[in-house]
Amino acid sequence: MTAQGIYLDNNATTRVDPEVLAEMLPLFTEQFGNPSSMHGFGAAVGGKIEWARKQVQALLGAAHDSEIVFTSGGTESDNTAILSVLEAYPKKKSIVTSVVEHPAVLALCDYLEKKRGYTVHRIGVDNRGNLDLDAYKAALGPDVAIVSIMWANNETGTIFPIEELAQLAKAAGAVFHTDAVQAVGKIPMTLVNSAVDMLSLSGHKLHAPKGIGALYVKRGLRFRPMLRGGHQERSRRAGTENAPGIVGLGAAAQLALLHMTDENTRVKALRDKLEQAILAAVPNCFVTGNPANRLPNTCNVAFEYIEGEAILLLLNEAGIAASSGSACTSGSLEPSHVMRAMGVPYTAAHGATRFSLSRETTEEEIDRVIAVVPGIIAKLRSLSPYWSQAGAPKEFAPVYS
Rounded CA separation 13/11 (Å): 6
Catalytic residue among 109, 285, 299, 328: 328
Cα separation values, 355 from 145, 232, 321, 358, Å: 36, 39, 8, 10
Residues in the chain: 401
Cα separation values, 233 from 14, 46, 65, 186, 269, Å: 26, 11, 11, 26, 40
Q: Which of 206, 182, 239 is nearest to 358 (CA)?
A: 206
Beta bridge partner(s), residue 198: 177, 217
Tell the burial category of 51 from Cβ atoms under 10 Å away from its Cβ (0-12, 13-18, 19+).
middle
Catalytic residue list contains 109: no
The helices-and-strands tally (H runs, E runs) of the chain is 16, 12
Tell the burial category of 129 from Cβ atoms under 10 Å away from its Cβ (0-12, 13-18, 19+).
buried
Rounded CA separation 84/226 (Å): 7
Cα dihedral sign for 90, 152, 265, 18? positive
Strands (E) across 141-277 are located at 144-148, 175-179, 198-202, 213-217
- Report the b/e string of 166-180 with b at 16+ CB within 10 A: bebbbebebbbbbbb
Catalytic annotation, residues? 328
